[in-house]
Amino acid sequence: MYKLKCFKAYDVRGQVPSELNHDIAYRIGRAYAQFLSAKQVIVGHDIRLTSPELSAALVDGLTDGGVDVLHIGQCGTEEVYFATFHLNTCGGICITASHNPKEFNGMKFVQAQAKPISGDSGLKDIQRLVEENNFPTVLKANKGQVTNISIAQAYTEHLLTYIDSTKLKPMKVVTNAGNGGAGEIIDRLTEHLPFEFIKLNHSADGNFPNGVPNPLLPENRTDTVAAIKNHQADFGIAWDGDFDRCFFFDENGEFVEGYYIVGLLATMLLAQHPNEKIVHDPRLFWNTQDIVAEHGGSCVQSKTGHAFIKECMRKEDAIYGGEMSAHHYFKDFAYCDNGNIPWLLISSLMSQTGKTLSSLIAERKACYPCSGEINTKVADPVSLIAAIEQQYCSTATSVDHTDGLSISFENWRFNLRMSNTEPLLRLNVESKNDVILMQEKTAELLATISA
């Protein structure tokens, strides 16, 4: 029995067709049906050129496994989550590779009530069934049915419940869908909001004519920055391909680290729901912990990754969870991540306070300057992380291995971890009220990593 490379820590991702193809997608459908004993499942897919074919193979596997499929068509991952809990199905699968290059594709899985399926909660069992490829014979009488449905209106109405649109002030907003799927959501919301949208790379196109939709890449931000300046917009938003992450730009065109958006959203939600729990990942968290303590909440640390954060959110019954990578999770969205609720809430906060986005985060950036995530390809990441721990641990105030290596000192800290989805080593550094110290320590660590 051979091991499939496309199964990762919390989803499936691989090159098509060498690592993920029609046959594997079919077997995933059979395995998912068998593992969950599912009766009815949501299926949707992103805008990638290979997604319809993989979706069809997956659906064949599900229906041969006796599952009735409700197919919502081209969508974002958050729409699969919504349809799963809104329609009370046994689970949901989105065919997507998020921000990976266009030759990749993948799948994200949830069970009933959009509960995640990760390596800690069933994904390894599904992988084993796929690799064994020993499924019962298909009986025609037991074959499931496929129904094509639309959730567009219901989902639009759900998003609007997070704000009072009558209290929003007119604003000019740049939106960059990156030729992913987010443009359709903006079109649906336009008539309900007092905003003028300047829409960039708006049409879905799996050829990615303007580059892979990954706003974390600086070269992918130039269009958004230019449009904000040219139109004198109030702020800008950009998304990845399946738009479960949104990225912010302030009124000056400055990219806003997702870390500081976590703090803003925690502030808003704790104001509405005092004494609740906030979940964060280990990469950057001093700002979040400070804000949550100030507003009477409590923090819970989780491993990085959407499936792990969701599991932690449910276990702790947290009101909100945030990752500096721009995943934001909400209790009222079945504890799942969403790429549209954050910008709706931030626009509401700007309307309420009359403040610009840059002024809302300026103080927090000064208190807790951070490096942003820096990615490096290295030959032997395990040995390198061990060597760095040995180098820094003797003078540390704490050492933590929740996810990779986190080492804290009195006035600065860092996290170094291997990516769960790409062959990269990821570094994040932050300090307390000392941008020079943060920059010096970042350079010091990068020199060691690159040596």
Which is the catalytic residue, given 18, 51, 55, 98?
Answer: 98
- Look up residue 107 and give its two tokens: 């799948």
Radius of gyration of the chain (CA): 22
DSSP-derived secondary structure for 351-402:
HHH---HHHHHHHHHHHS-B---EEE--S-HHHHHHHHHHHHGGG-SEEE-S
- Look up residue 33 and give its two tokens: 């049906």
281 secondary structure, DSSP code: -
- Look up residue 243 and give its two tokens: 């738009």
For residue 170, say if its preceding peptide bond is cis, omega within 30 degrees of 0. no
Pick the closest to residue 93 from 35, 150, 42 (CA basis): 42
What does the alpha-carbon distance between residue 326 and residue 91 come to, in Å, rounded to a whole number? 25
**H/E run at residue 400:** strand 398-400
Cα separation of the two ends of the chain? 39
What does the alpha-carbon distance between residue 228 and residue 110 come to, in Å, rounded to a whole number? 37
Give catalytic status of residue 98 as yes or no: yes
Q: Give whole-number Cα distances, 377 to 98, 105, 163, 267, in Å.
A: 20, 21, 42, 36
Looking at the annotation, which residues are catalytic?
A: 98
